[in-house]
Amino acid sequence: MTFGEMDIRLLDDGTFKLDGGAMFGIVPKPLWEKITPPDEANRIPLRTGVLLVRHQGGNILVDTGMGTKLSPKLRSIYGLGPSLLLGALAEAGLTPDDIDIVVFTHLHIDHAGGATRLDDSGKATPAFPRAEHVIQTAEWQAAVNPNERTRGSYVPDDFVPLQDNGLVRLVDGDCDLTDGVKLVQTGGHTDGHQIVVLDSGGRKAAFLGDLIPTVSHLKLPYMMAYDLYPMDLVARKKALIETALAENWLLIWQHDPNIEMGHLRRQGDDVLVEAGSSLD
């Protein structure tokens, strides 16, 4: 879709499943299962969305999906379908060599797994060999020095080969990536989590990452058990929602299985996605 002077597209890297209780944290199952029914293993379906931004600053990917490196056992645990990212890129007329910049909202496996692939010898190697990979310093430090709680969320083969090949650029806090593309460190989900804000032609959009992973998570108490700093997340989510309402931002959801994009409107005490705006 055309967005001001940019072309933006949410590429689909396929679907996966996570435990519904983990995805909704303290919210009781009788509430969340009404909006997102789980399967027999208590898992809910999620999309692995990758944002493609094309403008004068080049071709930018935000996150890279799960990728193709996971073992059959893990693919089964996550209910992971085939990776669709390269096919989606080809449909957009691009190859991995055409990507100039990769931005990571954070380095969890469902966001950074596709940044590397296994070569013929089984070694992880950069999947986008010409791209600069932009990461918050706080996120990089958390990924390379995980603790007992976070170790399972970070896979070194997803990001260490990028550093080994000189492809990593670390940033600290909010910054302008290129004209009209701003990185905003939100924290909350992880200390170094960031979102991407687009500003072009008098319009603004935000790719939300895991700050608001699905439309259901617009409700302030609806947070994930994976969120390391929940009260920071609530504050940033509340502020972003108010800004999006006041300035009519287009919001882009990475993990919602049904809605890619939309504008918000207030209905009483609720905040809803504007009907019919998901693909506008």
pLDDT at 278: 41
pLDDT band at 277 (very low <50, low <70, confident <90, very high): very low
pLDDT tens digit sequence for 129-172: 999 999 999 999 999 999 999 999 999 999 999 999 999 999 99
CATH architecture of the domain with residue range 2-273: 4-Layer Sandwich (3.60)
What is the distance between the alpha carbons of residues 261 and 274, in angstroms, rounded to a whole number?
10
pLDDT band at 176 (very low <50, low <70, confident <90, very high): very high
pLDDT at 276: 46
What is the distance between the alpha carbons of residues 230 and 31, in angstroms, rounded to a whole number?
20
Mean pLDDT of 159-186: 97
pLDDT tens digit sequence for 5-46: 999 999 999 999 999 999 999 999 999 999 999 999 999 999
What is the distance between the alpha carbons of residues 25 and 210, in angstroms, rounded to a whole number?
14
Mean pLDDT of 252-262: 96
pLDDT at 172: 98
Class of residue 268 by CB neighbours under 10 A (exposed 0-12, middle 13-18, buried 19+): exposed
**What are the extents of the domains in the chain?**
2-273
DSSP state of 191: T
Mean pLDDT of 215-238: 97
E strands, the chain, are 2-3, 6-19, 43-55, 58-62, 101-103, 116-118, 124-126, 132-136, 168-171, 175-178, 181-185, 194-200, 203-207, 250-252, 261-262, 264-267, 270-273
What is the distance between the alpha carbons of residues 97 and 95, in angstroms, rounded to a whole number?
5
SS3 state of residue 136:
strand
pLDDT at 274: 87
CA distances from 124 to 99, 116, 141, 164 (A): 19, 6, 20, 11
